[in-house]
A and B are shown apart, each in its own frame.
Chain A
């Protein structure tokens, strides 16, 4: 299985900040990577797929990039609703595997 490692595990930031979360894969692949947002007590919500394609309804302050073994999720200007945990998931090879998560906290 492809292992996915996210960094940092926790990120403290303020409203209006630009933040970047990184996801590194144990094997290289092109763009079959998704990002999810999860709030406490809720199911994950798909934000980005194919590394950089925004899911319908997701604010444009979210963006994704990368290929190979390194992928990033960027939030251009943090809003109060963005404080949550973020997971990457590769679906290049079966089964799709998740990163361990990045908790975005209010500074």
Chain B
């Protein structure tokens, strides 16, 4: 059974760095083709893809947020970590992690999401 779960702070201050952890089970990120992405959704708005890391440690980032994002993985702990620097109130959103099996694949499993509010 595949599961993903996001964890991290619910509240961060402007200019701070956000660190989110996705802990998953039911698959291995060392298996060829496996990818985990981060996607966010501001309240009442659409989904926005942020970053992806694959089984081979390749990393990809949203063009508009590339300078602020870092994605990494710890295969032994079944975790993927996303850091986002210089947080701003417009970054208030629910952050999801999701699995893809291969690049030409949809997101077949999602975490439940974690709401991050940016406010002083």
- B47-A98 in contact (CB<8A): yes
Complex partner residue of A34 from B60, B63, B106, CB under 8 angstroms: B106
Q: Chain A's interface: helix, strand, loop or mixed, by majority?
A: loop
- B49-A98 in contact (CB<8A): yes
- B46-A91 in contact (CB<8A): no
CB nearest to B4 among chain A residues: A43
Q: Number of B residues contacting the other chain (C-beta, 8 Å)?
A: 21
- B111-A43 in contact (CB<8A): yes
- B46-A46 in contact (CB<8A): no
Complex partner residue of A101 from B46, B60, B100, CB under 8 angstroms: B46
Contacts of B111 in A (CB 8 A): 43
Inter-chain residue pair count (beta carbon < 8 A): 54
Partner-B contacts on A (CB < 8 A): 1, 32, 34, 36, 42-46, 49, 55, 87, 89, 91-92, 94-101
Instruction: List the 6 closest A-B pairs by CB distance, nearest first.
Output: A34-B106, A43-B110, A98-B47, A49-B106, A100-B46, A95-B49
Partner-A contacts on B (CB < 8 A): 46-49, 52, 60, 62-63, 96, 98, 100, 103-108, 110-113
For this complex, 25 residue pairs linking A to B, each with C-beta atoms less than 8 Å apart, are A32-B104, A34-B106, A34-B107, A36-B106, A43-B98, A43-B111, A44-B107, A46-B106, A49-B105, A49-B106, A49-B108, A87-B46, A87-B47, A89-B47, A89-B106, A91-B100, A91-B103, A92-B104, A94-B103, A95-B52, A95-B60, A96-B106, A97-B49, A98-B47, A100-B46
